């Protein structure tokens, strides 16, 4: 059965325009008003969902027509529409960037596009950009355009005038203000949980948005963005391949890149999840398998190097031939050392021979898939470091670009340990995901 709910996709002509701030502010504004808001992030991003989750108080899932797939996206949107008064989807990069793009997602599900444009260094060109975004692709659902980082009320008036006959598309101007700037670092936005004033920043952004036409839309006005979401085709439940097994998951500021859907997938297969913090030098809890997710180990290399109890428990875990899956940042401290981009070397855990060297430019970015005997996991890679190691390479992921496949990331294998820069989306193949946490070679 289909269900209708107001929904909007917050997009921009490029990265860095402020769409995360606007999407989170919009969600926070309506959540403060007592409305039930569900938010999603387009693409494979780990960082922006932290801010959207803070704004809504709800888990934030990713939507990507390739990585998560249309059926998964349809199911999550339909489930959200059954519960919510508003659905906010934050786009990725520029509106038409990527294959698939945020525009593809908007058209596939009929999501009206709200374009956020950093207007700090423009006037009349604002109208040209807004016109281009709206009309570049025929049939794109359109909500309107919001000017961001505006200098003054006079500037805002110039921007609205530039729309030349399409002024009704103008949803207001948000003034430039450092009070609600969301800080960034090399992989993207700083994780919300690391900032003691994160909620204050969101509230300041929501207050600024409340002065605009967009922010003044009440529940009745939101119905103009109503979208009817069709129910997905049911699929068989995943077999309980992990029934009776306990999986320990690292979770702290150094290991914070976890898709909530990945945790759900493991639980749906019968696993019990327990969490521990290497930064707090906590040993592995009693478990059958372990997972070191991605994150920012390079920012905490000294503290991780001192985590003797964590290291001892990981070694004992591997000596007992219990599975350990380490992805990207979770893999990095397993090597002998992490070398910063300025050449400083920090000795780390020495579980694997070699070292990880940070770079000032991206080393890899893009969609990937990992084929295992139990199935193919979709996912992506995004890292600023390179790995220098003699450890055995068990296989490679495949890099997916424009429909073509190429050699992707190495998957290292040492006993019961498997590690790679690859970030997996577990729902794409629950059986393959389960095989990472089962003893011996995957079935």
Place of tokens 């193949």: 429
**CA angle centred on 438, ends 380 and 313, rounded to 5°:** 90
The torsion of the CA quartet 82, 84, 88, 89, rounded to 10 degrees, works out to -30
What's the distance, CA 181 to chain centroid?
A: 19
Decide if 437 contacts 424 (C-beta within 8 A).
Answer: no
Judged on CB neighbours under 10 Å (0-12, 13-18, 19+), 354 is middle
Residues 6+ apart with CB under 8 A from 221: none
Q: How many CB atoms lie within 10 A of CB 71?
A: 12
Q: How far apart are CA 433 and CA 372, in angstroms?
A: 9
| Prior bond of 100 cis (ω within 30°) | yes
Alpha helices, DSSP H, located in 57-211: 70-83, 102-109, 125-135, 153-161, 198-209
Q: Which residues pair with 11 in a beta bridge?
A: 115
**206: left (phi > 0), else alpha (psi -120 to 50), else beta?**
alpha
Catalytic residue among 5, 256, 328, 387: 328
Which two three-digit tokens encode residue 258?
């976890």
Q: How far apart are CA 403 and CA 196, in angstroms?
A: 43
Pairing of strands 355-358, 385-388: antiparallel
Which two three-digit tokens encode residue 220?
């009745």
- Give the C-alpha distances (Å, rounded to integers) separating 28 from 138, 409, 439: 32, 38, 44
Count of all residues that appear for the chain in the document: 443
Q: Which residues pair with 38 in a beta bridge?
A: 87
Which two three-digit tokens encode residue 148?
């961001």
Tell me, yes or no, if 42 is annotated catalytic: no
Which two three-digit tokens encode residue 56?
């809504």
Q: Please say whether the dihedral angle defined by the alpha carbons of residues 44, 47, 50 and 56, taken in this order, is positive or negative.
A: negative
Place of tokens 């000032």: 360
Q: Could you tell me where the beta strands, DSSP code E, fall in 176-310?
A: 184-185, 188-189, 226-229, 246-250, 272-276, 289-292
- Residues acting as catalytic residues: 328
């Amino acid at each position: 059965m289909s269900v209708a709910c107001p929904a909007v996709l917050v997009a921009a002509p490029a990265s860095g325009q402020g769409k995360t701030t606007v999407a989170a502010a919009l969600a926070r504004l309506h959540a403060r008003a007592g409305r039930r808001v569900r938010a999603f992030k387009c693409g494979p991003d780990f960082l922006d969902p932290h801010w959207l989750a803070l704004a809504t108080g709800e888990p934030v899932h990713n939507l990507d027509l390739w990585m998560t797939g249309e059926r998964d996206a349809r199911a999550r949107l339909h489930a959200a529409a059954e519960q919510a008064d508003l659905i906010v989807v934050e786009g990725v990069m520029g509106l038409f960037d990527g294959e698939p793009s945020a525009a593809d997602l908007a058209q596939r599900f009929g999501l009206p596009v709200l374009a956020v444009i950093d207007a700090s260094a423009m006037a009349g060109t604002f109208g040209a950009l807004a016109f281009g975004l709206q009309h570049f692709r025929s049939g794109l659902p359109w909500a309107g355009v919001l000017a961001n980082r505006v200098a003054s009320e006079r500037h805002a008036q110039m921007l609205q005038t530039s729309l030349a006959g399409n002024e009704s598309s103008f949803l207001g101007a948000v003034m430039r203000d450092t009070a609600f700037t969301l800080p960034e670092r090399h992989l993207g936005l700083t994780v919300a949980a690391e900032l003691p004033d994160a909620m204050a920043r969101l509230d300041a952004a929501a207050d600024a948005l409340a002065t605009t036409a967009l922010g003044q839309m009440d529940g009745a006005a939101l119905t103009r963005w109503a979208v009817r979401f069709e129910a997905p085709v049911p699929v068989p439940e995943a077999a309980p391949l992990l029934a009776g097994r306990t999986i320990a998951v690292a979770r702290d500021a150094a290991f914070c890149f976890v898709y909530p859907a990945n945790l759900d997938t493991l639980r749906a297969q019968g696993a019990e999840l327990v969490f521990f913090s290497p930064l707090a030098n906590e040993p592995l809890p009693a478990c059958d398998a372990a997972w070191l997710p991605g994150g920012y180990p390079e920012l905490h290399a000294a503290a991780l190097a001192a985590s003797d109890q964590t290291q001892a428990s990981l070694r004992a875990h591997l000596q007992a031939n219990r599975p350990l899956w380490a992805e990207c940042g979770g893999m990095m401290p397993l090597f002998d050392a992490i070398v910063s981009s300025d050449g400083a070397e920090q000795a780390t855990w020495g579980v694997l021979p070699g070292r990880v060297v940070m770079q000032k430019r991206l080393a890899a970015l893009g969609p990937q898939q990992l084929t295992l005997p139990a199935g193919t996991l979709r996912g992506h890679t995004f890292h600023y470091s390179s790995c220098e190691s003699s450890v055995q390479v068990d296989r490679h992921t495949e890099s997916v670009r424009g429909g073509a496949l190429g050699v992707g990331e190495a998957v290292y294998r040492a006993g019961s340990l498997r590690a790679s820069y690859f970030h997996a989306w577990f729902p794409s193949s629950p059986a393959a995901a389960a095989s990472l946490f089962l003893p011996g070679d995957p079935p």
